[in-house]
Amino acid sequence: MKYLIVGLGNIGYEYANTRHNIGFMVLDALAKASNIFFAEQRYGAVAELKLKGRTIILLKPNTFMNLSGNAVRYWLQKEKIPVENMLVVVDDIALPFGCLRLKPRGSDAGHNGLKNIQAILETDVYPRLKFGIGNDFPKGRQVDFVLSNFNSEELQTLPERIDTAGEIIKSFCLAGIQNTQNLYNNK
């Protein structure tokens, strides 16, 4: 069994610790905890995790957020992974900070990375793990907010929430989406 776990974010030092890059942060933490390393490959940084007979490809697209679908399509095809075995880790301003929601499908909710993935794959039926980043910004300042760093209060609990996101990813690959939703979506 093969899985593709896509962490959404923007490449470049200036974006490294921003809210919009939580997908990259989750994959970096999972790789570090698993003692594996990313290597630059076509369309992104890629690491391979072996877990109880499963191969899990971790992908951080280098296409910038708005073109993430190109990287996703390439790696799904290259590794011959069905779309239901893909999980996209994405920031979500509609969820309170640190809230984690696993969904089997859904709209792009205005997120440009999801919008591009759905356009390229021609479907909104693919699993995604939404990581709440909150919405504490004045009207019209959404872009500034998602491209800002986490505040000091958020940084205190961020590592724990990132670790939980890693547990959700492993559970998704081992126990499936339904069981994982039952375990984690109400926490």
Residues acting as catalytic residues: 20
Q: What is the rounded CA–CA span in Å between residue 88 and residue 38? A: 17
Element (H, E) at 103: strand 100-103
User: Which amino acid, residue 110?
Assistant: G
Is 127 strand, coil or helix?
coil
- The CA–CA distances, whole Å, from 92 to 37, 76, 102, 128, 143 equal 26, 24, 12, 11, 13
Is 120 strand, coil or helix?
helix
Q: What is the rounded CA–CA span in Å between residue 104 and residue 177? A: 7
Q: Which two tokens stand for residue 36?
A: 């594996």
Cβ contact 174:51 at 8 Å: yes
Specify the residue for token string 């877990």: 51
- How crowded is residue 35: how many other Cβ atoms within 10 Å of its Cβ? 7
User: Which amino acid, residue 11?
Assistant: I
